[in-house]
């Protein structure tokens, strides 16, 4: 019997009401939530520094207080990675909540991902968490748990675990597991699968998108949908966009299975229903990825507003003045960015103004804080005409640095703590396969028929982009075979770097996915030391794809 798994959270801070919306909107067997990201682990790490009893997503606990009785009444089991750095603490808080509410609800949790006890091995980070898989979740559900909370499992695992428990899959049912990973990857980011952040949003009434549901079959095939009557849209485009999100290449490695994204077929299965078939799986790699966060130092920033004439000269003047004032104890890093948002002969002061952003970093909070703030403000009456800032600099704030490490999976514990308190050791994968690149697929025959016209690339392509540590992933897709035959030859790495000059000096790799009429570009190092280090204007590369779509290029008129 088909299992219906809905998702109600794509990040820590997502729509609070989504849990109730999903429970009341229609039938579900399981409700999942993804609360963790690289940045979230840093935030929870700082919480844990203040209080060892913290370190989990407190929002989830409040959502359960409002909705746990409703979930029990409807027979919906809940699985979420909201345990963060302290899944045992969240499980205990849930048990206290259950007692307070007078409910008959059993709680279980999964632990073992936290490797902070091996801190010396990783250079004493603030957090060190391995990405565990789905089998601990499945064990808890098989033991009768109504709610399972975990620490750092892969995002898709909160969906794979319920499916594996429901169908009784074996550890080597790789194709079925791969299909569940694909469905999980689509729905784990919440409304991004139902029209949120969608390149072709102007073609649909998006409103407030409902959250997604995966209807999973025993063979791992699925239909992605949403509750009837909710906002947004589910079509081949929205699902393709989410499939491309932060995947790197055709092989998508996980702790339980390596999923081949080059084997998938998407078909529209009715309004707001997209069927995914054909997933193939391979044994997982022998190592697990570890998310490391450490405190990198302190940062501060201010933005100078430059209005009217001589913008470049004004920028040069304030830069020379501020750097001169800081020369005795200069910050370890100072970064200037001039955004020419000004227009000539503008009919409003705002349209006549450019923005000069200055950001500094240093290990000393006084250098990044008081020294920088004071030097910037002291220029107020002594610099360019019309001097003002969008907001004055303040005290320095700490920033984090992200790093990925890889460890032997057999050296990482994976423990299911069942509702009765008993602990079950979950074996890591016994059959593994070193990860390797897929052979470059054969390019389609080029098709450049007819006249060309210069238009923004986004007239033809969709895009979705995001971060993986210091790297950016930018997936693009088209919606016809003719467009694919053109795109595969036209949008080379060289052309990509020409269109996005910020990437010209960086290593860029292109991965082709002909089955999806899509490709993914990985840009290494563009995000510095990760989102928490705030290395660029768009620190998570969320809009990198939209920048690419705005760039003009010669396109065959037949594709428009």
Can you give the pLDDT at residue 129? 97
- CA proximity to 400, closest of 326, 297, 491: 297
DSSP secondary structure letter of residue 351: G
For every residue of 101-147, DSSP letters joined together read HT----EEEEE--B-GGGGGGGTS-SEEEE-B-SHHHHHHHHTT-SE
Select from 8, 147, 164 the least CA-distant residue to 75: 147
Give the strand pairing for 397-408 and 353-362.
unpaired
Residue 38 has pLDDT above 90, yes or no: no
Strand partners, 509: 522
Please report, for the chain, the start and end positions of each structural domain, with discontinuous segments joined by +. 3-291+404-425, 294-401, 452-559
511-545 tens-digit pLDDT = 999 999 999 999 999 998 887 777 678 889 999 99
The pLDDT assigned to 182 comes to 98
* Mean pLDDT, residues 55-74: 97
| Per-residue pLDDT tens over the stretch 257-302 | 999 999 999 999 999 999 999 999 999 999 999 999 999 999 999 9
The residue among 64, 66, 75, 73 whose CA lies nearest residue 29 is 75
Burial class (CB in 10 A: 0-12, 13-18, 19+), 231: middle
Exposure b/e, 265-289, CB count within 10 A at least 16 = b: ebeebeebbbbbbbbbbbbbbbbbb
- Percent of the chain residues past pLDDT 70, beyond the cut: 100
Question: 446 falls in which pLDDT band (50, 70, 90)?
Answer: confident
Return the CATH number of the domain spanning residue range 294-401.
Answer: 3.30.70
Q: How confident is the model at residue 71 (pLDDT cuts 50, 70, 90)?
A: very high
Q: What is the pLDDT of residue 101?
A: 97
**pLDDT per residue as tens digits for the range 140-175:** 999 999 999 999 999 999 999 999 999 999 999 999
| pLDDT tens per residue, range 422-436 | 999 999 999 999 999
pLDDT, position 539? 87
Residue entry with tokens 């971060």 = 467
pLDDT digits (tens, 9 = 90+) for 375-396: 999 999 999 999 999 988 889 9
Sign of CA dihedral 245, 247, 227, 276: positive
Calculate the average pLDDT of the chain.
96
Distance separating alpha carbons of residues 323 and 421, to the nearest angstrom: 60
Q: Given this model, what pLDDT does residue 107 score?
A: 98
Instruction: Count the neighbouring beta carbons within 10 Å of the beta carbon of residue 552.
Output: 12
Q: What is the pLDDT of residue 215?
A: 98
Query: Per-residue pLDDT for 197 more than 90?
Result: yes
Region of residue 278 (left: phi > 0; alpha: psi -120 to 50; beta: else): left
pLDDT mean over 490-501 = 97
What angle, rounded to 10 degrees, do the helices at 174-187 and 157-167 form? 140
């Amino acid at each position: 019997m088909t299992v219906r798994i809905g998702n109600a959270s794509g990040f820590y801070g997502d729509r609070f009401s989504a849990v109730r919306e999903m429970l009341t909107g229609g039938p579900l067997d399981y409700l999942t939530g993804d609360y963790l990201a690289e940045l979230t682990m840093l935030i929870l790490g700082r919480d844990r520094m203040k209080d060892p009893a913290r370190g989990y997503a407190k929002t989830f606990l409040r959502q359960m207080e409002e909705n746990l009785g409703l979930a029990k009444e409807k027979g919906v089991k809940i699985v979420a990675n909201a345990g963060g750095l302290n899944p045992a603490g969240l499980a205990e808080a849930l048990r206290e909540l259950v007692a307070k509410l007078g409910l008959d609800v059993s709680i279980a949790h999964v632990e073992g991902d936290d490797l902070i006890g091996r801190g010396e091995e990783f250079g004493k980070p603030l957090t060190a968490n391995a990405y565990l898989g789905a089998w601990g979740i499945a064990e808890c559900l098989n033991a009768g748990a109504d709610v399972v909370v975990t620490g750092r499992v892969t995002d898709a695992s909160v969906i794979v675990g319920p499916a594996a428990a429901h169908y009784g899959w074996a550890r080597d049912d790789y194709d079925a597991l791969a299909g569940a990973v694909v469905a999980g990857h689509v729905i784990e980011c919440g409304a991004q699968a139902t029209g949120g952040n969608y390149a072709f949003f102007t073609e649909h009434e998006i409103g407030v998108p409902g959250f997604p549901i995966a209807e999973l079959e025993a063979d791992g095939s699925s239909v992605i949908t949403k509750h009837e009557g909710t906002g947004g849209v589910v079509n081949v485009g929205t699902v393709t966009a989410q499939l491309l999100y932060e995947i790197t290449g055709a092989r998508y490695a996980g702790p339980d299975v390596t999923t081949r994204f080059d084997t998938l077929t998407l078909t529209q299965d009715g309004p707001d229903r997209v069927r995914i078939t054909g997933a193939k799986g391979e044994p997982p790699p022998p190592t697990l990825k570890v998310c490391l966060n450490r405190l990198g130092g302190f940062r501060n920033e201010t933005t100078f507003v430059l209005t009217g004439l001589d913008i470049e000269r004004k920028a040069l003047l304030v830069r020379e003045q501020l750097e001169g004032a800081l020369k005795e104890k200069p910050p370890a890093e100072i970064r200037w960015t001039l955004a020419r948002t000004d227009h000539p002969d503008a009919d409003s002061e705002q349209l006549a103004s450019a923005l000069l952003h200055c950001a500094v970093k240093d290990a000393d909070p006084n250098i990044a804080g008081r020294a920088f703030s004071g030097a910037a403000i002291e220029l107020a009456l002594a610099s360019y005409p019309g001097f003002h800032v969008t907001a004055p600099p303040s005290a320095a704030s700490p920033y984090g640095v992200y790093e990925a490490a890889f460890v032997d999976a057999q050296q990482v514990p994976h423990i299911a703590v069942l509702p009765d308190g008993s602990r079950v050791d979950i074996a890591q994968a016994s059959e593994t396969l070193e990860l390797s690149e897929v052979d470059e697929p054969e390019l389609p025959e080029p098709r450049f028929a007819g006249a060309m016209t210069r238009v923004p690339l986004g007239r033809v392509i969709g895009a979705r982009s995001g971060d993986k540590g210091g790297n950016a992933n930018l997936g693009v897709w088209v919606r016809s075979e003719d467009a694919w035959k053109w795109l595969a030859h036209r949008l080379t790495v060289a052309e990509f770097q020409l269109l996005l000059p910020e990437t010209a000096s960086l290593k860029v790799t292109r991965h082709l996915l002909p089955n999806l009429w899509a490709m993914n570009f990985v840009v290494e190092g563009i995000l510095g030391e990760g989102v928490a280090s705030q290395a660029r204007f768009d620190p998570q590369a969320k809009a990198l794809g939209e920048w690419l779509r705005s760039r003009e290029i010669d396109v065959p008129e037949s594709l428009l």
